[in-house]
Structure 1
Amino acid sequence: MTEKPSRREFAKIASVTAAAVATALTFKPFYILHAKPKPDGEVIGHGAHKYKVHQGWGNLDSSKFPINNCHEMVQDSKGRLIMIGDEVKNNILIYDRSGKLLDSWGHEFPGGHGLTLWNANGEEFLFICDPNLGKVFKTDLKGKILLTIEHPSKVGAYKETDAFKPTETAIGPDGTIYIADGYGSQWILRYTPKGEYIGKFGGPGDEDAQFSTAHGIAVDYRDKTNPTLVITSRVHNAFKRFTLDGKYLSTIFLPGAFVCRPVFDGDTMYAGVCWSRLRYLNQTNNSGFVTILDKNNKVISNPGGTKPEYRNGELQLMVQEKPIFMHCHDVCIDNDKNIYVCQWNAKKTYPVKLERV
C-alpha cells in the first residue's frame, strides 16, 4: 500500500478542490451534461483498462421481469451473475454471461440493496441488505432465508430510536459478518457467523475513523498475510482502510467521485461512481462513471470518466466525461475481466456490460 495514513488527508481537500476549479472548467461541463451517448460499441476507459460498451446486454421483458433500481451484482462459482434490485416481483435476477436470464426469485425485499456472496468451503451463501426493512438476511442461492439480523437495539448496540438502514455486508476470513449502516447511523457492526453481536466502530463525522455515507465494505485480500477492510465514505469521496478489528489505517481520497462499494478482482479494485462533481463542483445528477485502482491504490482508468491525473503524487479532480451512465451503483467482474454495471435511478435500466478490449 503506497498511500500514507494521515489525519491531514481531509485538511487537504479544500486546497485540492480550489486547485481543481480551474481544471474542472476545462471539462466543458455544459457539454457533458447535455451530450448524447453514442451507440453501443463505443470504447471507454484508459490505459490497459479499456472497454466496449454493450448497453442492452441485460435487457429483459419488463412486463415479466421488471426492475426498478439495479443495485448490486455478484458472480458465483458457476459463473452465474446474480443481481439484486428493489422490485419485489423479482428481487433477484440471475444471468449467464451472454445476458440470458437463468432464474429469478425474491418478493420480500422492498429495499433490496446490498448483495454479498460468501463461499464457505465450497458452499455458497448470499447476504442481502434491505435498508427499507432495516434488516440483513443470509440466504442460500435459491433464496431460502437462513439467518436474519435485525435492529442493533435488540443486542444493546443502538438505541431504539437510532436509524438502522444497512447498505452492505462483508464476510471476514473467520466468518465474521461486517455490516455497513450506510443509510442509517454510519457504524460498522460486527457479528459472529451465527449472528451474535461482537461490537462496532466508525460512526458519523469527518474524522479519519468516521464516515459520511458508509455505503460499502469489502475485505481486501491483496496482502494475503494481512487482510484489511476497505470501507466507503461516499460523501468524503473516499475509501477508508481499517484492520479487521476496526482500527483506522489510512484514507484513499478520490476527489470528485462519490464511490459505492469497493470490488476486488486479483490485485485490482473497482467501484461504481454514483455521482461526480460537475458545474460548480457540486454533486451532480446523472454524472456517474466507473473507477479502477491498481494494487497500490492508484487510479489507472475511469471508464466513462476523465482520465486520471496525478500532480506531485496527488490525484486531481475526476468527473464524468461521457454520459454513458447515469448513476453507477455497483460493478461485477467476470473471469475475462469484463465489467457489468448496475445503476440506481437510471430510468429502470438493466445491467450494462463493458467488454474488455
Structure 2
Amino acid sequence: MKLKRREFLRNTALGFTALSTIPEFMNPMTTPVDGEILGHGSHRYKLKLEWGKLDASSFPVNNCHEMVQDAKGRLIMLGDEVKNNVLIYDRSGKLLDSWGHEYPGGHGLSLWNANGEEFLFITDVNHGKVFKTDLKGKVLMTIEHPSSQGGYEKEWPFKPTETAVGPDGTIYVADGYGSNFVLRYTPKGEFIDKFGGAGDADHQFSTAHGVAIDTRNKANPTVLVTSRAHNSFKRFTLDGKYLATIFLPGAYVCRPVIKGENLYAGVCWSRLRYLNQTPSSGFVTILDKNDRVISNPGGTAPEYRNGKLQLMVQEKPLFHHCHDVCVDQDENIYVCQWNAKKAYPSKLERV
C-alpha cells in the first residue's frame, strides 16, 4: 500500500522525534568526552578517562576489578591479568610498582590496617580461595573451601568475591559467585559461622558480591552486604543479624565503599527496557549518611517520590560495568571497570 506524501512526512517526523528521545547510552552517535563534568548536587566531578592508562605491551589488563589506597597514598589495583595482577599507582596516574602472577580469577581486594601494619586480602574466584598478603604480595594466610572446617557441604560451590575485616579482626568473606553466604572467620582464618544464603528473603542474597564494615556510627558498627541482583545493599549486625535493606532500583551495585560520611559504589549494570539488565550501562552512585542517593556520576539524577527512590539508569556511555571505586583524601573517585575493552582505571576529579 502506498503512503500519501503527507502521511510519509508525518511518519518520518515522528520517527525523528522518537530518535531524539533515545537515552544517550543507546545512541551510537554519542561518544565519551574527556573533561566532562558529571554528577549531581554538591558532588560533581571532572572525568579523566585515561588517568591510569599504561603501555599494554608491558603492563596489560583484562578486567580492572578493585582498588584500595594504602597509608602512603598509593592506589593499589587488582585485576585478573596474570602478567601483573596488581598495579600500584600514585594519584597522578604514574605507575609505581606491579606484582602478582598467581591470580587468574583475581576479583576482590581489601586493605586492613592492623594497628599501623597494613595487609591485603585477595579473593580469587577461579581458585576459590582467599589470600592474605603483605603489601608486596607475600602470602601470609589462605582460606580455602569452607568444607575443610565444617562450614559448607563439600558439593557447595565456593567462589569468594570480597572480604572485609571487623573492628575485632573478624574476617567476613562474601561468597558472591558461589553459595551466596557471608562467612565469618577469626583473624587466624578459623571458621566461626555464616549468614545469608541464596534467596529472596530479607536476610538472603542474590549475588552477594561485596561486603564492608560501616563504622560511621562508631558506637554501633554494622556490616553492609551487596545483593547485586536485588539492586540492594543489606545491613546486618556484626554477628550477622539482618537489620535493613537499602533498595537502589535500576542499580546492579558492586561493593559498598565508605569514605567520610558517604557511601560510594560502582554500578555494574542498570536497567531499562522491561526492567532487564542493560549491557554496558555502568555508572557510579553516592549515598549520604542517611542512605539516600545524592549523586550518580554517569547516571541519571536521583529522584525521590513520596520518600521512594525512582529508577536510575546510565545517562551517557562513559563507563562499561563499573566494578569498584576508590575514594582518596580529596574525595576524588577512581573507577575500575569489568568487561570494558581492557580499559585502565579512570578518575573522577572532585570539583
Among 26, 47, 54, which residue is 1:33 paired with? Answer: 26
Q: Report deviation, 1:33.
A: 1.5
- 1:247-301 CA-partner distances (Å, limit 9, x unpaired): 0000000000000000000110000000000223210110000000000000000
**Residue identity opposite 2:25 in structure 1:** I
Distance 1:27 1:157, change over 3 A: farther
- Structure 2: distance between partners of 1:45 and 1:108: 37
**Residue segments in structure 1 that go unaligned for 5+ positions in a row:** 1-24
1:38 to partner: Cα distance: 3.3
- Distance in 1, matches of 2:236 and 2:21, equals 38
Deviation at 1:160, TM superposition (A): 1.2
Compute the displacement of 1:157 (Å): 1.1
Whole-Å Cα distance in 1 between the matches of residues 284 and 20 of structure 2? 17
Measured against aligned partners, the alpha-carbon deviations of 1:175-216 in whole angstroms (never above 9, x if no partner) come to 000000000000000000000110000000000000000000
Instruction: Give, in whole Å, the separation in 2 of the partners of 1:344 and 1:27.
Output: 30
The question of whether the paired residues in 1 share the 8 Å contact of 2:24 and 2:316 is answered with no
Amino acid at match of 1:159: E
Q: Which residue of 190, 194, 198 maps to 1:196?
A: 190
Match of 1:241 in 2: 235
Matched residue type, 2:152:
Y
Amino acid at match of 1:173: P
User: 1:306-357 deviations in whole A, cap 9, x for unaligned?
Assistant: 0000000000000000111010000000111000000000000000000001
Q: Compute the displacement of 1:65 (Å).
A: 0.3
Aligned-pair identity (%): 74
SS of residue in 1 equivalent to 2:274: coil
2:212 to 210, 213, 218: 218
Structure 1 residue 266 corresponds to structure 2 residue 260: yes
Q: Is the 8 Å Cα contact of residues 241 and 249 (structure 1) preserved in structure 2?
A: yes
| 2:66 pairs with 1:72 | yes
The answer to whether structure 1 residue 113 and structure 2 residue 107 are counterparts is yes
**TM-score, reference length from structure 1:** 0.92
Contact 2:76 2:86 in 1 (8 A): yes
Residue 279 in 1 paired to residue 250 in 2? no
Following TM superposition, by how much is the alpha carbon of 1:84 offset from its aligned partner in structure 2, in angstroms?
0.0
The amino acid that maps onto 1:103 is: D
Q: Any idea what the Cα deviations from partners look like across 1:43-90, whole Å, max 9, x if unmatched? A: 010000000000010000000000000000000000000000000000
- Of 131, 151, 157, which residue of structure 1 is paired with 2:151? 157
Q: State the distance in 2 between where 1:75 and 1:196 align.
A: 27
Normalised by the length of structure 2, the TM-score is: 0.93
Distance in 2, Cα, partners of 1:168 & 1:29: 36
Give, in whole Å, the separation in 1 of the partners of 2:251 and 2:20.
15
Determine the structure 2 residue equivalent to 1:180. 174
Cα pair distance change 1:27/1:271, threshold 3 Å: farther
Contact 1:29 1:278 in 2 (8 A): no
Which residue type is aligned with residue 305 of structure 1? G
Which of 291, 294, 299 in structure 2 is aligned with 1:297? 291
Cα-to-partner distance string for 1:108-134 (whole Å, 9 max, x where unaligned): 000000000000000000000001100
| Aligned amino acid, residue 224 of structure 1 | K
What is the rounded CA distance, in whole Å, between the counterparts of 1:189 and 1:287 in structure 2?
31
Q: Tell me which of 87, 91, 99 is aligned to 2:85.
A: 91
Q: Secondary structure at the match of 1:306?
A: coil
CA contact (8 A) 1:233 1:240 kept: yes
Q: Which residues of 2 match residues 268-347 of structure 1 at below 5 A? A: 268-347=262-341
1:144-185: per-residue Cα shift (whole Å, max 9, x none)? 000000000101111111100000000000000000000000
Q: Which residue of 2 aligns with 1:42?
A: 36
Q: Which amino acid is the alignment partner of residue 200 of structure 1? A: K
For 2:27, the aligned partner's letter is H
Q: Distance in 1 between matches of 2:131 and 2:83?
A: 18
Which secondary structure does the structure 2 equivalent of 1:195 belong to? coil
Residues 191 and 198 of structure 1 are in contact (CA less than 8 Å); yes or no, is this contact kept in structure 2? Answer: yes
For residues 178 and 229 of structure 1, the distance between their equivalents in structure 2, rounded to whole angstroms, comes to 9
Q: Which has the larger radius of gyration?
A: 2
Q: Distance in 2 between matches of 1:255 and 1:40?
A: 28
- The residue that corresponds to 1:7 in the other structure is none
Q: 1:255 to 1:93 in 2, by over 3 A?
A: same
